[in-house]
Structure 1
């Protein structure tokens, strides 16, 4: 736990303040009974956030940075009877420095990054659930003026622009409830990706698309039957017995011709790219029309206009990528040569097959046409069945994901609401008052409110109740509550909240709070707060930094720079 904070800029009446010591349970930063402002109560709580790895102190407390200037916050944690000393500077705040007991940086030890420091604290505090980050675990429970954690309707929020989905996910990780959901989310996503990849593959790269529906599948089956009948008649009319002797040969010719067309098309594109690269290497330019007219003639259905963008891109790179162009030219030449070899081989294969005697070329073409259509229709139906299979798997995983997610959200909701009900009864001492309620509707939406009570006191009390409940059901080690959360709380309720704060010492947890104007509270409450006061601030030289810069004129003897 945090046991000490020290800074040479902390002053009181022209003298440096002694280190501020902390203990389990309640730790109070207390102001005077006049409720004086701008003496450093909230600022000190922001420094606590800074000590716990936050950056709001340097980014949002700009008046402090402008007036106090650069300074270093020193602090000490105690874990398992061992003390760990650190320093963090307001300018170089991305580094956390390991120190000795006098806050002298340790030799031969590199500064810790904010991330590695967070990992250190997570480990020491036992916040080690899968995927849980230190700031994601504790940031929402540091509720201080100027921080984005004071929204009474969104207690899970850690910063202003955080999406509800990220808030809920982070909170579930804190409770170690997200890992099982994440597993199902990933499984469902993988199944959906596999289905979509198969669907796209059948539409692109010249594969056969799947039948659209059961009706089309049935139509394909009917067409296959018709084609098979035509195939039989063709065999009967062929005196050479084509079906028995040369069906595989005819299909092979059809297959080889399809491959030949593909290789010729690929070679045309490669040669076009090679021309572009060579032109770019010499700095010459040619128009799209001159470059691709012949390709458009042979492949009218291809979108060669898209290649003009590639041509422009090549022009831009030609001056700085000469070596890369040379390597690219070499690769393209190699590819062109390999394609030429493949094309010549296919042409020879087709020629050799066609030279088989007694096979009518007309019959061969007709048979190949029928065989190709039959195979395409069968492939379409096969793809339809496979897509249906993958869709069913994806749907099943999605249903499992949704069921597991719903169960986890309901379980969290029940446990948290039950604990908030207990806390409310404890601090209100009245079972007729409704406690705050959270409803986790889904992974990206939740609501939080106190039923039938939208008053300021009820809403801030709801945040306090939420935090106290989480001290009991989660591993969070501390709370930080600014005075503005407590200002509108009824005095008897305030006293009972202070009691609950103090009792956290039984669990080894800490509550840091700021408050003032205690003169109207009961002696017992005042005594408890005074007993747990770790820092007392007041105007006239006893501000946190020994002076108040919000006044028009300052006494040079009290102003500390």
Structure 2
């Protein structure tokens, strides 16, 4: 826990803190701008926050850059640090006199704090755990209807996810979420592959049409099987995978051969072209032309042509060799076909028809197979989404019941007349914090404090902060009960409050006993006063 903070800017150079309730006490006039909220913001700063730099810029403007030295105690061991405004991204480990020893990044520092406080919320950073429940003027987390929102633009789902992580309930969601993502990735891969025509893409209508066409082609193959060309009727022999592969391979080889033959013909024509220039004819039109210079240029061109001609002849030889190789491969494939069936011309037509139908069936079946895979992927995604929704629903129901039970318990303690307790309605994507019967400002801020106390009781969050503006509109009796409840807690609670003479003596005694500093119009937090500066 935090035990002290020291700074050269303070009137009381060192401020000490203790277990449980820590009170920053104002005067009975309710004086403003004396440092109550500022000290809470400084506490947020030493717990790794950054709002002090942006919201309390007047402190730096009037006091210059300044440091805070502070000490924690964990397991009876002291840990000393220094953090300043000049370079807030750096925190220094120090000795007990706050002499800086070595620097650490503020993010690493908050990770260390999380370990020191033994927070098991492994899916949350230290700041995600504590920031929302440090309700200080200027932090924009005081919306009475949105107690889970750390800032105005935070989405409902983000706020609820943080709550689930705070209660260490997120592992089950994460596991299901990971499995869902894998299913969705598989579905997207199939969709993209179909969109880019890497695999066949069909719809339900095409699928059903393919089934009918497959059945029709099967019948036709059986009919051909009874043809005189195949007395045995053994269609599998005629349309074996080997025959289909040989036919396809031969087709590819012939296409490749035609491609190289075409290239060879173009190369041969290029070689035969003449490169003569007949510069002598130019003399009839231009008698003064420098014929010697033109002949030199022609000699150069002929040299280039000779080089190109050599390269073309080399290409011609290579193309001829490749065509010969393809011819040999085609002959090998043809012999294999002959070896399997040795068909005559009519028989070849018959075999080609069988192979054509069989190939078409294979393609249609392939299309349908991919379609079924996509259907399965969609169904698996839908099923996994349903499982995830059920897990989420069960978790938020547990949290809702737990929170509402604690809210009622604290509410009944605060309001001895047993007023209707606030209630949170929670789903995974939305929440609503409602107060019944009484919609006044005071009751609303009471309910915000009650919510934080419930969170403090039910989770590992190490502390909360409540600024004085929260208490301003709350009725006197409710504040007295809140102070009593604060005082019963062992975790650190930091509050700023003033005008305590309106409360009963017991409450005043608690606040006086638990105060860490008292500020008045004549005794400010800082040594310098710039309130009246124009």
Normalised by the length of structure 1, the TM-score is 0.76
CA distance in 2, matches of 1:41, 1:203: 63
State the Cα deviation string for residues 435-491 of structure 1 (Å, max 9, x = none). 1111112x2211112123221111111110001111111111111000000111111
Structure 1 equivalent of residue 358 of structure 2: 371
Contact 1:253 1:350 in 2 (8 A): no
Alignment of 1:221-300 (within 5 A): 221-237=211-227, 239=229, 243=235, 246-248=238-240, 249-253=242-246, 255-256=248-249
Of 336, 360, 382, 1:395 maps to 382
Q: Deviations over 1:31-87 (max 9, x none)?
A: 111111111110110001001110000022111121111001111100000000000
Match for 1:22 among 12, 17, 20?
A: 17
Partner residue in 1 for 2:397:
410
Deviation of 1:4 after TM superposition, in Å, equals 0.6
* Alignment-derived partner of residue 315 in structure 2: none
Q: Match of 2:5?
A: 5
Report what 2:439 is aligned to.
Answer: 454
How far 1:259 sits from its partner (Å)?
Answer: 7.1
Aligned to 1:312: none
- State how far apart, in whole Å, the 2-side matches of 1:152 and 1:85 are: 36
Alignment-derived partner of residue 510 in structure 2: 528
The alignment partner of 1:504 has SS state of coil
Q: Structure 1: how far apart are the matches of 2:255 and 2:127?
A: 56
Query: Which of the two has higher C-alpha Rg?
Result: 2
Provide the rounded CA distance (Å) in 2 between the counterparts of 1:159 and 1:388: 42
2:62 maps to what in 1? 67
- Does 489-498 or 517-526 show the bigger shift? 517-526
Where in structure 2 are there 5+ consecutive unaligned residues? 258-320
What secondary structure sits across from 2:531 in the alignment?
coil
Q: Please give the residue correspondences for 1:53-202 in structure 2 after superposition, counting only pairs within 5 Å.
A: 53-106=48-101, 109=102, 111-202=103-194
Deviation at 1:372, TM superposition (A): 2.0
Deviation at 1:258, TM superposition (A): 8.5
Q: Secondary structure at the match of 1:98?
A: strand
State the partner residue of 2:265.
Answer: none
Contact 2:199 2:370 in 1 (8 A): no
Alignment of 1:417-432 (within 5 A): 417-431=404-418
The aligned residue for residue 424 of structure 2 is 438
Match of 2:333 among 353, 361, 364: 353
Q: Is contact 1:130–1:179 with CA below 8 Å preserved after alignment?
A: no
Distance 1:56 1:343 in 2: 78
CA–CA distance in structure 2, aligned partners of residues 86 and 193 of structure 1: 47
Inter-CA distance 206–520: structure 2 relative to 1 (3 Å threshold): closer
State the distance in 2 between where 1:134 and 1:430 align.
Answer: 38
Q: 1:345: how far off? A: 8.1
2-structure distance, mates of 1:493, 1:263:
91
SS in structure 1 at match of 2:426? strand
Deviation at 1:237, TM superposition (A): 4.8
Moved more, 253-262 or 1-10: 253-262
Q: 1:492 aligns with which of 477, 502, 522?
A: 477
Q: Gaps spanning 5+ residues in structure 1: where?
A: 12-16, 265-340, 554-561
CA contact (8 A) 1:254 1:372 kept: no
Give the secondary structure class of the aligned counterpart of 2:501: coil
Cα deviation, residue 209, structure 1: 2.8
1:512 shift after superposition: 0.5
**How far apart are residue 391 of structure 1 and its match?**
2.9
Larger displacement relative to structure 2 (196-205 or 495-504): 196-205
Q: Secondary structure at the match of 1:519?
A: helix
Verify the 8 A CA contact 1:77 1:83 in the aligned structure 2: yes
Cα shift at 1:367: 3.5
Residue 170 (structure 1) shift: 1.1
CA displacement at 1:177 relative to structure 2 = 1.0
Q: For the Cα contact (< 8 Å) 1:53–1:118, is it kept in 2?
A: yes
Verify: 1:516 aligned to 2:498, yes or no: yes
Q: Structure 1 residues 471, 463: closer, same or farther in 2, change over 3 A?
A: same
Between 1:375-384 and 1:400-409, the stretch displaced more is 375-384
Distance 2:356 2:412 in 1: 83
- TM, length-normalised to structure 2: 0.80
Residues 351 and 89 of structure 1, relative CA distance in 2, 3 Å threshold:
farther
3-state DSSP of counterpart to 2:79: strand
